Amino acid sequence: MSIMELKQVGYSYDNKRKVLRGINAEMKQGKLYAILGPSGCGKTTLLSLIGGLDSPGSGQILFDGKDIAKTGLGDHRKNHVAFIFQAYNLIDYLTPAENVSLTSKLPPLPILERLGLTKEEAKRNVLKLSGGQQQRVAIARALASEAPVILADEPTGNLDEDTARDITEILKESAHQMNKCVVVVTHSNELAREADVVFRLKRGELQTLEKVTGTKNDNRRNGRRGR
């Protein structure tokens, strides 16, 4: 059964320019979804709608069969989804451990260590970490939240190739091993190749692409650093 369902979702900026038109999609737990598309096509907007950061102009977004507009967007953000932003969006006066603890009661250190941060780094000011480390903190925050849906907006956009590959692997593990529904908006073909389902957003409409194969071989060829 799908955990997230989009029914005829439409959205326009200032009620003029339509960016999303009658979008239908279903997303399940345990799968990694990638949404591709050219810049400005509405990928981030779609992700925001799924995450309850904004409301659709038309249509419904269902979580576990219930309309999130009716159950409350705040409640949806708090209990159902966790965001990973391209700009990390960490709270600058908190340490990585405290950022992770923002919405979670789980001890933050094991998650941060699993994502490659040392104890010392976990207690440092978050702004003193590198971009890759900050993105790992953002991912740790999302994973620690225990939300069944993880929404990632260009999570590898600002990162070097190796770090991007690590992050992709983490997201994949989150879907396959932690049974999360991971939805990633990306320009990265590498990341898309790792996805179980790939959507393409074009002219406001969402198309499901055939699964790209050969990802594992490509990764082996590139000497991917496992974790």
Partner 1 sequence: MTLGTRAVLHTARKWKKTLLLFFLLVFIVTLVLSGLAIADAQEEQAEELRGTTGASFTVERDISTGGWSGNASTQEFLSEDMIQQIASLDGVAGYDASLITLPRMFNDKGEELAHENYSFYNYGSYNSQYHELFLSGRFELVEGTHITDDMTGSILISRELAEWNDLKLGDTLTGIYYPENDTPAVDVEIVGIFDVVADKDDQINMYDDTSYYDYSSFAFCSMDVAEGLIKGWGEDEEGISEAYFYVSDAAQLDSVIAEAQDISSINWNNYKISMNDEVYENISSSLKDTGRLITTLIVVITAVSMVLIILILSMSVRSRRKETGILLAVGIAKPAVILQYALETMLIAIVAFPLAYLSSKQVAGALGTLFGKTAANVIVTPQHFMMVAVVGAALLLASVLVSCTPAIRLKPKQILAQME
Under the binding rule (CB under 8 A), the answer on residue 103 touching partner 1 is: yes
- Close Cβ partners of 65 (under 8 Å, ≥ 6 residues apart): 5
- From the list 5, 41, 43, 83, which residue makes contact with partner 1 (rule: CB under 8 A)? 83
What is the rounded end-to-end Cα distance, in angstroms, of the chain? 30
* Contact track, partner 1, 27-46, x by CB under 8 A: ------------------x-
> Which residue from 67, 91, 128, 160 is in contact with partner 1, where contact means CB under 8 A?
91
The DSSP letter of residue 46 is H
Beta-bridge mates of residue 10:
58
**Toward partner 1, which CB reaches closer, 134 or 219?**
134
CB atoms within 10 A of CB 58: 15
Q: Does residue 48 bind partner 1 (CB under 8 A)?
A: yes
Three-state secondary structure call for residue 71 = helix
- The verdict on 210 binding partner 1 (CB under 8 A) reads no
Q: Which is nearer to partner 1, 76 or 165 (CB)?
A: 76
Q: Which of 133, 135, 145, 188 binds partner 1 (CB under 8 A)?
A: 145
Cα–Cα nearest to 31, from 188, 185, 226, 179: 179
Q: Tell me whether residue 135 or residue 145 sits nearer to partner 1 (CB atom).
A: 145
Alpha helices in the chain (DSSP H): 43-50, 68-71, 73-79, 96-100, 108-114, 119-122, 131-144, 161-176, 189-194, 215-222
Judged by CB under 8 A, the stretch of 49-57, 128-136, 191-199, 208-216 that binds partner 1 is 49-57
Map tokens 């977004």 to a residue: 61
Considering the rule CB under 8 A, would residue 13 count as an interface residue with partner 1?
no
Interface with partner 1 by CB under 8 A: which residues? 45, 48, 51, 53-55, 74, 77-79, 81-83, 85, 87, 89-94, 98, 101-103, 141, 145
